[in-house]
Amino acid sequence: MTNSGKTVIAIVDDEETILKGLERLLRSAGLAAKTFATGVDFLRSLENGTPDCLVLDLNMMPMNGLAVLDRLALSDRKLPVIVITGDDREEIHQAAVSRGIAAFLRKPVEDEALLDAIDKAIRPIEP
């Protein structure tokens, strides 16, 4: 999933205002953003290619973010995932971390914290 050589970040959140705000933020940082209102829509989009990183909400319907992570784990795709959520329960944090996410951020997400997490997630590992 490339877009003119730009880094492509997929955003999955069922709140339209959050999707639009994150899309504007990423575009202003020079990143291409693809938005999805459901995890199902995002998973279907993978047939057309894999983004460089995924920003994923956890509390969504009909498929929550943890289920999306589980489906990704069953695929061959190596995709860094940054979880954003308003749910601050420790068991949710642990459930997401145990699925190998790159970062866990609580809503409301600070712009710089998200951009830093994306940068770290997509940066090649130095030898």
One digit per residue, the tens of pLDDT, for the chain of length 127 reads 545 578 999 999 999 999 999 999 999 999 999 999 999 999 999 999 999 999 999 999 999 999 999 999 999 888 999 999 999 899 999 999 999 999 999 999 999 999 999 999 998 765 5
In a domain, 1, yes or no: no
Q: Is the pTM of this model over 0.85?
A: yes
What is the largest distance, in Å, between two alpha-carbon atoms of the chain? Answer: 41
Q: Evaluate whether 38 touches 14 at the Cβ level (below 8 Å).
A: yes
CATH of the domain at 85: 3.40.50.2300
97, part of any domain: yes
d(CA 79, CA 12): 14
Angle at 81 between CA 55 and CA 45, to 5 degrees: 70
In a domain, 127, yes or no: no
Which domain, by its residues, includes 20? 8-122
Q: Quick one: which H or E segment has residue 20? A: helix 16-28
Total domain count, the chain: 1
